């Protein structure tokens, strides 16, 4: 797992479009974009230190509060995928991050996935601050990523755009 060569963006996961991910239109079904991005989220959480072991030890995890998926260009069976991750913002209870999916050989942007998640105590099922060490790691990455430009799609509104007369 590494960072991209030309930036501070994280590159933590790669994948390949599997045959079972293909829909009747002959391209990757929308549900599998979300699944692929969920794999990237797991890799990101491991990277910041919210590993399975820590989750068991402190009995906490993150829950997605809001997600925004944008489909830019289709991918087909067998296509190799590359993902980047940027931590947009964070505090002691919340993570706002942004994944991008690229065709790994052709280089085009296939989709984006913006997430706002919350840290949850699994005993109480309530939002709670992250453990101190995890919070320090998140703050370090947040500060590192603050110098990066926010992707245009961050905070994107959904709606029908009408042409002006």
DSSP symbols for the chain:
-EE-TTSS-EE--EEE--GGGB-TTSSB-HHHHHHHHHHHHHHHHHHHT--HHHHHHHTEEEEEEEEEEEE-S---TT-EEEEEEEEEEE-SSEEEEEEEEEETTT--EEEEEEEEEEEEETTTTEE-PPPHHHHHHHHHHHHHHTTSPPPTTTTPPPS------
d(CA 107, CA 63): 31
Calculate mean pLDDT across residues 13-25: 98
Mean pLDDT confidence for 5-29: 91
Tell me what the mean pLDDT of segment 9-37 comes to: 97
CA distance 114 to 131: 24
Tell me: pLDDT of 1 over 60.
no
Q: Residue 100: is its pLDDT beyond 50?
A: yes
pTM comes to 0.91
- The architecture CATH gives domain 2-145: Roll (3.10)
What does the pLDDT read at residue 165? Answer: 55
- In percent, the amount of the chain with pLDDT more than 90 equals 84
pLDDT given for residue 150 in this prediction? 93
**Residue 6 above 50 pLDDT?**
no
Domain ranges of the chain: 2-145
Task: Output the pLDDT for position 3.
Answer: 43
pLDDT of residue 157: 84
The pLDDT of residue 86: 98
pLDDT tens sequence across 106-150: 999 999 999 999 999 999 999 999 999 999 999 999 999 999 999
Average pLDDT of 1-16?
74
Looking at residues 89-110, what average pLDDT do you find?
A: 98
High-pLDDT (> 70) share of the chain, %: 95
User: Angle 147-148-153 (CA atoms, 0-180°, nearest 5)?
Assistant: 140
Q: Is the pLDDT of residue 158 over 50?
A: yes
């Amino acid at each position: 797992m590494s960072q991209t060569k030309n930036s501070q963006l994280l590159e933590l996961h790669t994948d390949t479009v599997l045959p079972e991910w293909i829909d009747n239109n002959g391209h990757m079904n929308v549900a599998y974009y979300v699944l692929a991005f969920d794999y990237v989220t797991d890799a990101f959480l491991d990277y910041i230190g919210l590993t399975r072991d820590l989750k068991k030890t402190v009995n906490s995890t993150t829950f997605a509060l809001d997600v925004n998926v944008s489909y830019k260009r289709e991918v087909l069976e067998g296509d190799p995928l590359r993902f980047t991750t940027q931590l947009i913002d964070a505090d002691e209870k919340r993570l706002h991050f942004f994944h991008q999916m690229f065709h790994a050989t052709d280089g085009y942007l296939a989709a984006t996935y913006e997430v706002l998640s919350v840290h949850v105590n699994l005993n109480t099922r309530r939002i709670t601050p992250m453990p101190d060490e995890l919070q320090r790691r998140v703050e370090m990455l947040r500060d590192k990523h603050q110098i990066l430009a926010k992707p245009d799609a961050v905070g994107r509104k959904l709606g029908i755009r009408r042409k002006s007369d």
